[in-house]
Structure 1
Amino acid sequence: MAVVGCTALALTVTGTTAQAHPSRDLARQTLPANDGWASHGAGTTGGAAADADHVYTVRTWAEFRQALADGGDAPKIIKVKGMIDAVSEGCDAFAAKGYDFQQYLADYDPAVWGHDTPVSGEQEELRDASADNQAKAITANIPSNTTIVGVGKNAGILGGSLQIKGVDNVILRNLTIEAPIDCFPQWDPTDDTKTGAWNSDYDTVVVRGSTHVWIDHNTLTDGRYPDSSLPSYFGKIYQQHDGLVDIVRGANYVTVSWNSFEDHDKTMLIGGGDSHGADDRGKLKVTLHHNRFEGIVERAPRVRYGQVDAYNNHFAVTKDQKYAYTFGIGIESRLYATHNAFSLPPGVSAAQTLKRWNDAPLTAENNYVNGRLTDLIAVHNAEIPGETLQRGAGWTPTLRTKVHPPKAIPAIVGHHAGAGRLR
């Protein structure tokens, strides 16, 4: 495939004349002071200090990955022009020789295999090899001191998985990012209380063990492949999506601002597992502000361990969509959620916006539901008494930019959040 093992690429090196007016050059902009947790300490500057040899304009997935690899951790700017497709050759290009999906279905049909043991054997081994081929092709590792920015209103990445792992000082802005499709989901007959489930891999953006990350003015979506378009096998949806943005394994000082999250199920994890306390305690400090979440089923976000500040976001549940919850309250989390707006259709109660996974206190004040001030905790506790939530996150955010009145948030965020809308 063109995306694997490519050594000779035509990268376009651009000049730095825009440095004279840094506020007008998106690629040179840095996170403003006091703009969320990513402004803590030294702040987040990405590749703003890049010299002319480390500024790239890329038009293909191969060029993009080569630009990431060039120059190590030296400051770099990567300008994405147009929509870059990480899977342009299609899923068949990743399939291991001998893998046959119809044979896979026949071998692991619950009527044949049952629900007591995980699948194994030749077709499962070939599926796993195929998945490994895809992972190698669609994964892009982002180094420290990097800014990735879309050029204009129609730039982004289709089907790639952006990995921000073990690095510092990264900026992602003005990109439309379509979630990767897992070409080879695994059937787990023991999942979902032994009724079975299809499990997928490949998160869209992963922040793992990294610090000072700013994710701003992007649109993240299932795009051409919504869950409603996916088939079912063995009575379960053939799930080919995982998370949109997952912040895990000791990641810290992250600001997620002015993004549009659209039409997705498991949207955002902050803290990947209850057993990860050794990595996560005292970290996972994340700010979410002025984001738009529409058509989202759950995890907006689900929080474990972290001090998460969520303000001035708009959560819009669309009519007839599947909906589970917005904020997931997990082990040792300290969520501070204020000045947000919720738009809920008939039949969806404000009580559903919160979900208690573990007993952890939160602050949820001055939030509006359908234009009316609503005490989310009181409504939740009254309607779902078996999941009583405790008040008081135990901390107060100080790193905030302008806080808008919640009633104005649907209009403000609707006009300005997402890719192609930077002023």
Structure 2
Amino acid sequence: MTGASTPLQNVNGSYTYGVRNYLAPALIDKLHNPSNYKAAGVVPTWQFATVDPTGGKLSFERATAPQDGWHTWSRKGKVIVTGGSAAATNRVYTVFNGQQLVAALAESGIEPKIVRVVGHIDLRWSSNNTVFKEYTGYLDQKFGGSIMIPSNTTLVGINDAQGRPARLTGTSILIGGELANGAVDAQAGYMAWVNAGKDGEDYPTWTRNIIIRNLQIDAPWDVNPEDSANAYADGMTLSRAQNIYIDHVSMSDGDTPGSLSSDTRHDGLLDIVRGSDYATVTNSYFHKHGKTTLIGNGDSGRAWSDAGRLHVTLSNNFYDRLYSRMPLNRFGQVHVFNNYIYGRTDSAVPADLKFSSGLDPRYQSNMLVQNMYFEITGLALDGFCKKGIDGGNGTAPIGFRSSGHLMLTDKGGNTTPAAWDGQCGYAVPTGANVWTPPYSYTLVTATAAKANVVANAGAGKLK
């Protein structure tokens, strides 16, 4: 892999990711009002473990990532995402609780490492999963409730004897944020590097070479969100992350749906932002959540990091009864193919499972969308281009190509692109904005895609 990285676990000598600080709620930059603190209303049925059902025998853990997505590329050409596949014996860890997971990452730094998760991890638990304490405020959750994954890591879940995948609850997975010396402003440091004539690809601020597989991740309940409409904690965030492969994960709100509160307690499920690049999310299951995936988290002031970046592949995923952002895309050159989107807009469906919009192309985005299966109950065919694609935002991307889909609805039956405008009013890219995926991939029909996704997507189904 290209470029150096410096792991950032400690922040300005004050906070360490994955280590609780138990700070009380406090107003920060006029946000996170203490009066808005609310503990999670439900805790899950725990599936803690103390024994590795495999006896330590490795199977898929040393595998490198396949070559069928943007994760296989860089500005210097083709790469192989190896994660921790080359880990030495003493850099293969099996962990049963959050403290063991954090310790394994801290010990190995950016060396190749394999971390095998068994059972159920939640950073609210300590002392070998015997002491539980809810997050005490925003800063406690932001740092003490987040695990920072450094470069050259394979993080995988191991199924238990009943076939249940390893599970993370109440814990945000962060990939990125590795700043040289932990003190350099990202934009200022990057611009100084480039202005000195150095290759931006080599700037040591992007976390590189990560594989995450076979994990069930419950999006955290935000105990002290920014305000009543905006939560902070994501299930997983890629920020200044590059060459990332995410496969066979399951993500949802778990046991804490948004209906437990009158204000917003969840943010993104899996967001790819702040200059992240060359990432693939595949064979995964997303369910029961509002804002699913954000690629590029702003228009203004983001060009320095996002323009020319955010190359992302989303393939063979199951988007099941989600509200929006499948994905929402700014700046990204995003390839979306062979996914299955199932949603309901009818009045009978609970609010937590209601569909609002699917693909949402926005500012400076350039998307190639192929052979998708949309099954949306209650959505009329003539409303597809404001629900299935677009979301009604009307912000024109650089280019949008869409073909080969199938739409199933109780308001008109099956239809193919001949029956509706697959472009949904967007123009195809022209000139230098035309691009072709530089990697090989297998494209199947929309009908076949649905069958494949239902059978194979999600944690616990890795073969």
Q: TM-score, normalised by structure 1?
A: 0.79
The equivalent residue for 1:343 is 375
1:63 CA drift (Å): 0.7
| Counterpart residue number, 1:182 | 222
Q: Superposed, which structure 2 residues align to 1:37-52 within 5 Å?
A: 37-40=70-73, 41-52=78-89
The 1:359–1:269 alpha-carbon spacing in structure 2 relative to 1, beyond 3 Å, is same
Partner of 1:252 in structure 2?
277
* Cα 1:347–1:16 shift into 2, 3 Å: closer
Mapped pair 1:223 → 2:251: no
The residue number in structure 2 matching 1:157 is 168
- For 2:287, the aligned partner's letter is E
- Is residue 271–residue 295 contact of structure 2 (8 Å, CA) maintained in 1? yes
Letter in 1 for 2:152: N
What is the distance in 2 between the residues matched to 1:93 and 1:373? Answer: 49
Aligned to 1:107: none
Matched, 1:372 2:415: yes
State the match for 2:266 in structure 1.
241
1:136 to 134, 138, 143: 143
The equivalent of 2:289 in structure 1 is 264
> Partners of 2:341 and 2:257 in 1: how far apart?
19
Q: Which amino acid aligns with 1:214?
A: Y
The residue aligned with 1:354 is 389
- The verdict on how the C-alpha distance between 1:178 and 1:59 changes in structure 2, with shifts beyond 3 A counting, is same
TM-aligned CA distance change 1:92 to 1:377, over 3 Å:
farther
| SS of aligned partner of 2:377 | coil
Amino acid at match of 1:262: H
Specify the code of the residue in structure 2 equivalent to 1:267: T
What is the CA-CA distance between 1:408 and the residue it aligns to?
Answer: 1.5
Q: Mapping of 1:71-86 within 5 angstroms?
A: 71-86=108-123
Amino acid of the structure 2 residue aligned with 1:363 = R
Q: Report the CA distance between 1:295 and its aligned residue.
A: 1.0
Per the alignment, residue 460 of structure 2 pairs with 420
Aligned match of 1:26 in 60, 63, 82? 60
SS where residue 335 of structure 1 aligns?
strand
Instruction: Tell me what 2:229 maps to.
Output: 198
> 1:86 offset after TM fit, Å?
2.2
The equivalent residue for 1:326 is 358
| Unpaired segments ≥5 residues, structure 2 | 1-17, 22-49, 177-205, 409-413
Deviation, structure 1 residue 323 = 2.3
TM normalised by structure 2 equals 0.72
C-alpha contact (below 8 Å) 1:58/1:64 kept by paired residues: yes
Aligned-pair identity in percent equals 32
Q: Which has the higher contact order (CA 8 A, sep 6+)?
A: 2
- 1:379 shift after superposition: 6.5
Q: Is the 8 A contact 1:143 1:164 kept in 2?
A: yes
Q: Secondary structure at the match of 2:379?
A: coil
Q: 1:46-87 CA distances to partner (integer Å, 9 max, x unpaired)?
A: 000000110000010111111111121000000000111222
Q: Aligned partners of 1:77 and 1:376: how far apart in 2?
A: 49
How far the C-alpha of 1:397 sits from its partner, in A, is 2.1
Distance (whole Å) between structure 1 residues aligned to residue 324 and residue 82 of structure 2: 31
Name the CA shift for 1:74/1:379 in 2 (closer, same or farther; >3 Å): closer
Superposed CA offset, 1:278-321 (max 9, x none):
10111100001000001111111001111100000001003534
Measured in 2, the distance between the counterparts of 1:345 and 1:380 equals 21
Q: Shift of the alpha carbon at 1:267?
A: 0.6
Q: In 1, distance between residues paired with 2:327 and 2:248?
A: 18
Q: How many residues align?
A: 357
**Given residue 91 of structure 2, which amino acid in structure 1 is its aligned partner?**
H
Equivalent position of 2:314 in the other structure: 288
Corresponding position of 1:4 = 19
Query: Helix, strand or coil: the match of 2:280?
Result: strand
Per the alignment, residue 102 of structure 1 pairs with none
Q: Which of 328, 338, 344 is residue 312 of structure 1 equivalent to?
A: 338
- CA displacement 1:313-351 (0-9 Å, x = unmatched): 001003534322111111110010011111110235322
The 1:94/1:407 distance shift into structure 2, 3 A limit, reads: closer
**Cα RMSD over matched residues?**
2.7
